[in-house]
Structure 1
Amino acid sequence: MNAINKNATEFSSATPDLKTMPAVLDLQPLMPSFGAEVRNLDLSQEPDEATVTALIAALNQHSLLILKRQNITQEQHVALSRRFGDLMIHVLKQFLTTSYPEIYVLSNVAENGKPIGNHKEGWNWHSDLSYMAEPSMGSLLHAIETPPEGADTLFASMHSAYEALDPAMQQRIRNMKAVHSYTGYYGKAFADRAPLSDEQKARTPDVVQPVVRTHPVTGRLSLYVGQDIVKEIVGLPEAESTALLAELNAHAISGAFTYRHQWSDGDLVIWDNRCTMHCATPYDDNKYRRVMHRTTVHGDRPF
């Protein structure tokens, strides 16, 4: 374990300088290593091109953006998301229950006897759609209805996690590849549900991704692992693969690299799936309702 116990302060020098950002955005750092709150920006008014360009630049630099209490419609949510890139449609079509198929609903609410969204989704550390050959670039999650307690979301900087590794560990894993399996994940996370259909399985075959990926804009390296979704590291014996994945995941989600977001209704959180992981946390789902709308921006093949 010594290979990954570098002092977190060793990567603080890589912290982005907020002064370099375009003046159009008012940014407040969330963590020493990543994340920023975008203040004084009302997205209910269509943002101009300069603002969107600044948001994209801020996302590339900070990996995670928080915009609190945004009173936006579903149409505005989808329109803003499209300005980041083409949108992906989730394989679980039964949870595309709004007027916009680009919106994947996360919820414990049922209407007319049917759930309006996927409940207990993402209660493990993952990067959205890493099981696709061309995974998501980023996600935009809008809080429609949130519990007054619980249901926080944790985010981890995979840039910072990789940069804090001992050089020997960095060299060891630099060219490794791992198998990401949605079928394997679904079987673990939703064992109490009907299995995936043949059509859903056909759309989500296992894929091989690098364990260390390069950000296509900034060139920074990051870990690209995850819990449950990553089945094995290619070429390693099962026991060694399991132990190494557990070690890397435990390192990546340590407190030095993670931010906890406590939701309020209207919050919009944008994150870069190429260099972050996130994890939902439980809440009293018998007492409280929760409704979240997520759009997912298409990305490129990891390298």
Structure 2
Amino acid sequence: MSTALATPAPSLALKTRPLHPGFGIEVLDLDLSDPASDAAVDALVEALDVHSVILVRGQQLSNRRHVEISRRFGTLMVHVLKQFLTTGLPEIYVLSNVTENGKPIGNHKEGWNWHSDLSYVAEPSMGSLLYAVEVPPEGADTLFASMHLAWEGLSPGMQARIRHLKATHSYAGYYAKAFADRAPLTEEQKARTPDVVHPVVRTHPVTGRLSLYVGEDIVKCIEGLPPEESDALLAELNAHAVRDEFVYRHRWCQGDLLIWDNRCTMHCATPYDDARYRRIMHRTTVAGTRPF
């Protein structure tokens, strides 16, 4: 007697519109606050591999629901800067200029350079989910660059030159540049973030599509090249990767949930009048695998 195999349920159809001609979608008419929306979250998980950036506006998420949604994308990481895990849920990393009881509730001026989240660890983040709790009425946009488009926009000669190169990513080096006015990293933080080496061109583990994997400040050098040549090549690749045709600018509204794939995008925060306006953003970070 034969047994029929169960067929998987079809993915939920999402109503979307593009954010950029080459990547990114906004998902419309979706309320993620209710656990009954988990089927829609699973559809977002599938869509991320294809679209790289997903926006869902007008959300009202509790901290716990933010974490629940994020866990459907994978295991969550806890940031090394524990002083900014101030919500009571260690999975949420707070980005903010707000001070309460004499202490900052979040990291301010974080990510004001082009980078991919946690590229400085051996198994970098797969993705991030950033929720806008409170945003300024102007400024504080976030820019996203498609590293798929950047790779595909390189000349064949440059593609051949860099295809099998590797680069050193250094959190200590980045921290010293970005936060020179702060207390240095503790010995524990340094021990948790040793320099790591990753390919300059990485393969998306789901789609097989290639992308550049570079960044400002966090990428210290290209392995095997003299310092001058390494610096020049990194500068050239970073400048190419953020050309206007590869970049989407996101203008935040309160309640925005923005989800991005760190395996094939870079992003950069932009300044705002932090003396006049408050900003509170909650980020969860999904664990990934070693780049190849």
TM-score, length basis structure 2? 0.95
Give the SS at the match of 2:126. Answer: strand
2:95 aligned to 76, 93, 106, which one? 106
1:279 aligned to 262, 268, 280, which one? 268
Query: Which stretches in structure 1 are left out of the alignment for 5+ residues?
Result: 1-20
Give the SS at the match of 1:88. Answer: coil
Q: How does 1:250-265 map to 2 (within 5 A)?
A: 250-265=239-254
Amino acid at match of 2:179: F
- The one-character-per-residue Cα deviations of 1:262-288 (angstroms, maximum 9, x if unpaired) are 001110000000000000000000000
Q: Is the 8 A contact 2:146 2:266 kept in 1?
A: yes
Give the SS at the match of 2:159. Answer: helix
Give the SS at the match of 1:52. Answer: helix
Amino acid at match of 1:271: W
Query: Which moved further from structure 2: 239-248 or 40-49?
Result: 40-49
Amino acid at match of 1:169: M
Q: How does 1:282-301 map to 2 (within 5 A)?
A: 282-301=271-290
Displacement of 1:24 in angstroms is: 2.1
Q: Distance in 1 between matches of 2:91 and 2:84?
A: 11
Amino acid at match of 2:99: A
1:54 aligned to 43, 57, 62, which one? 43
1:242 counterpart = 2:241: no
1:166 aligned to 155, 167, 171, which one? 155
Q: Distance in 1 between matches of 2:230 and 2:24?
A: 31
1:42 aligned to 18, 26, 31, which one? 31
1:116 counterpart = 2:105: yes
Q: Distance in 2 between matches of 1:298 and 1:106?
A: 19
Displacement of 1:53 in angstroms is: 2.6
Q: Is the 8 A contact 2:12 2:40 kept in 1?
A: no
Displacement of 1:50 in angstroms is: 3.4
Displacement of 1:32 in angstroms is: 1.1
Q: Distance in 2 between matches of 1:24 and 1:172?
A: 41
In the alignment, which residue of structure 2 is the partner of 1:66?
55
Amino acid at match of 2:152: E
Amino acid at match of 1:142: Y
Q: How does 1:19-38 map to 2 (within 5 A)?
A: 22=11, 24-38=13-27
Q: Is the 8 A contact 2:42 2:72 kept in 1?
A: no
Displacement of 1:48 in angstroms is: 4.5
1:206 counterpart = 2:199: no
Q: Distance in 1 between matches of 2:71 and 2:12?
A: 23
Amino acid at match of 1:298: A
Q: How does 1:155-194 map to 2 (within 5 A)?
A: 155-194=144-183
Count of residue pairs the alignment pairs up: 283
In the alignment, which residue of structure 2 is the partner of 1:75?
64
- The one-character-per-residue Cα deviations of 1:186-212 (angstroms, maximum 9, x if unpaired) are 000000000000000000000000000
Give % identity: 72
Q: Distance in 1 between matches of 2:37 and 2:270?
A: 35
Q: Is the 8 A contact 2:12 2:39 kept in 1?
A: no
Amino acid at match of 2:255: G
Q: Distance in 1 between matches of 2:205 and 2:130?
A: 23
Amino acid at match of 2:289: D
Q: Distance in 2 between matches of 1:251 and 1:262?
A: 23
Q: Is the 8 A contact 2:31 2:37 kept in 1?
A: no
Distance of aligned partners of 1:47 and 1:36 in 2 relative to their CA distance in 1, 3 Å threshold: farther
Amino acid at match of 1:44: S
Give the SS at the match of 1:105. Answer: strand
Query: Which moved further from structure 2: 43-52 or 33-42?
Result: 43-52
Displacement of 1:44 in angstroms is: 1.1
- The one-character-per-residue Cα deviations of 1:86-117 (angstroms, maximum 9, x if unpaired) are 00000000000001000000000000000000
Amino acid at match of 1:41: L
Query: Which stretches in structure 2 are left out of the alignment for 5+ residues?
Result: 1-9
Q: Distance in 2 between matches of 1:210 and 1:48?
A: 37
TM-align CA RMSD: 1.0
Q: Is the 8 A contact 2:146 2:247 kept in 1?
A: yes
Q: Distance in 2 between matches of 1:102 and 1:280?
A: 21
Ranges of 4+ aligned residues in structure 1 off by more than 4 Å? none
Amino acid at match of 1:76: R
Distance of aligned partners of 1:23 and 1:78 in 2 relative to their CA distance in 1, 3 Å threshold: closer
Displacement of 1:22 in angstroms is: 4.9
